[in-house]
Amino acid sequence: MVQKFIKIGSSVGAVIPAEMLKRRGIEQGEGFTPVEQENGDILLKRSAHTPNKEIADTVARATAYIERYRKDFEALADK
């Protein structure tokens, strides 16, 4: 499938088909680095520091737990 570079504000971007992203488990907001190859091709390398959905879910649950028991934690800290 041939894609075209398109103008996005003052930049240029490319659209990656949703089906392709889904097959690779890539979600909106993930980071990548463009890597230029000797033959002129450009590879999109996923960032090693890309947020993981499972980690984000765990952090959200932990934050909710802390907020739920904040007064208890604060009372324990005072002892």
Average pLDDT over residues 44-61: 78
Which has the higher per-residue pLDDT, 18 or 1?
A: 18
Q: Does the predicted TM-score (pTM) go above 0.85?
A: no
Average pLDDT over residues 13-42: 90
pLDDT digits (tens, 9 = 90+) for 29-52: 888 899 999 999 999 998 876 566
Residue 50: per-residue pLDDT:
53
Distances (CA, A) of 13 to 10, 22, 67: 10, 19, 40
